Structure 1
Amino acid sequence: MSSGLFALLDDIAGLAKVAAAALDDAATQATKAGAKAAGIVIDDAAVTPRYAVGFAAERELPIIWKIALGSLKNKLLFLLPAALVLSFIAPWAITPLLMAGGAYLCFEGFEKVYELVVPHAHTDEPAGTGTTAILDATQLEQQKISGAIKTDFILSAEIMAITLATVTTSSYWMQALVLAVVGLGMTMLVYGAVALIVKADDAGAALARKGRPFIAPIGRGLVLGMPHFLKALSAVGTAAMLWVGGGIIIHGLAGYGLTGIEHAIHGVAVAVGQVLPTLSSLLEWLTTAGASAVFGLIVGGLCLVGMHFIVEPLLKAWRRTKAPGVPERQGH
């Protein structure tokens, strides 16, 4: 009896060790995937605060919370199952989809750079202020939350695709676990940071009102510094989109045998790193990231040209061919 009990305890201990090793492996792989998706995370954190702007202070955190729940739903209920199905039935499609997502990031990054260099009127809300005026506070809040969740879906899809590409050689259940860990972890990281950013000026104002010698200046510094911080964060987010998007495409091309660009960037990065051997790793990384961002800027420009001169004219032509048929069908 006692020997059977000890054997059972030994088996349980063995299973616990296996489970611990699996969790440790999942955490390691999730960390690697998260590092590769860092650029998208930065951009997500830079974009989201604007959806809480213009509301009463007491509504800011509830809005962020609802967006965070929507983001988690995007990742765990839609994107995670889709990624697992894709990995099971069409693993060959992961790289092309990842490259398509990279091209989208490059396109978005180029648009932001173009807007900075050649400012133009925004057309995100074609209905103008009249549409906003007729909405009550609840409708406007819901509209903002819905827009934020839709934007998050695209960024979340890229995060999950990068994660899936990182764990393609792992078992099916390990892929599911890592995707879930990354989805949950990234959501907590992004929206925790967004909540801190959104409430930083309120915290600064509260500290400034206390009037204490050392506390008040910190509060005023927060209030005055947050607009500049948000601008800097937006710039970093744009650079990160170009760096990540360009890097994804370069790596994808190398996977298909087109290794010239990747080898050239690596050679330049190594040469730059040799200038200061003590900082070689940092210099190599900065050079690789910078070259990837430049490549991403080129890809984004090509995507913008293709969108305006090929895709949009084709869509307009398609709409014109459809329009004449509508009255005829109604007449019958």
Structure 2
Amino acid sequence: MTAQNAFDVSSELINELLRSMRLSGVQYRRIQAGPVFGVSFAAKPGHAYFHFLAAGCATLRLEDGSLYELSAGNAVFIAHGGAHALVSSPQACVQDITDFDAAPLGDSVCAVNASPETPSRTLLFSACMAFELDSLQGLGSLMPALMLIDAGGQRYPGLMPILAVMEREVSSARIGYAGILARLADVVAAMIVRGWVECACGNASGLVAALRDPRLAGALLALHQQPGRDWSVAELAAHCHTSRSVFADRFQATLGIPPLRYVTELRMRLAAQWLTLERLPIEAVALRLGYTSQAAFSRAYKRITGQPPGASRQGLRSPA
């Protein structure tokens, strides 16, 4: 396989993974602050925080006390929803973001003035969203808790114009802007994940390493494109132009699980999405994933997730 073909395969696989990424329940805040401010954000497992500093400067303080200086054009992506604060200085007192007065700008969008008694010097664009890491089939657990981003840097070309559009949408509040923001948030998150995959450190493991390995990427692409097919290890090895034993050993060494176990886990991750987010009937999900009966699918789902498929759907229902 040539270097260009290897790049094409890996690029297609990344495309397939990013298409399956899910954001939901996005909440936006336009935060203005004066020379002294402190805004804290509580831990939200299953969510991601994104902050873009449009003007001024700030210090990011993590729960462990780590400090990071931010200037205009910097952004922060906290993939696992860890507790943190944005402050004017390490000594600044903080107040939880939910305790500030918020002026609604529309559906799921509001404006916050963190220093109402002083002229504004700092402008932050902030978002919190449910981040479906499981849809990334292993990438989510490998992502660092904190990603510091230079929005104007070479790693994220095109990110700054998108952030500028999001800021204009919030400020202008034109009709339909909440829907546009939701779509742009998907794009921003996908660009950040892609930049991390492309530039991850040389000792990357798991799926990140597999994305760069043409001997595995071909098989992974085939799996993600046809998850309902009755795959054999020999068929997967053929997609990588290698022997069954060499492929199986390399797959296990790189991803930490056998190929067919990966297939099953992929199917159940997709099933969880289709059941909870798309609200598909259980029998339709079973059929789409290649199971000959709903009972066989339910057994596999419970074995991987620890609960029957019906319980996943019920978990999203609001109390009566």
- Pick the structure with greater CA Rg: 1
> TM-score, normalising length from structure 2?
0.30
- Choose between structure 1 and 2: higher strand proportion: 2
Q: TM-score, normalising length from structure 1?
A: 0.29
Query: Which is richer in helix?
Result: 1
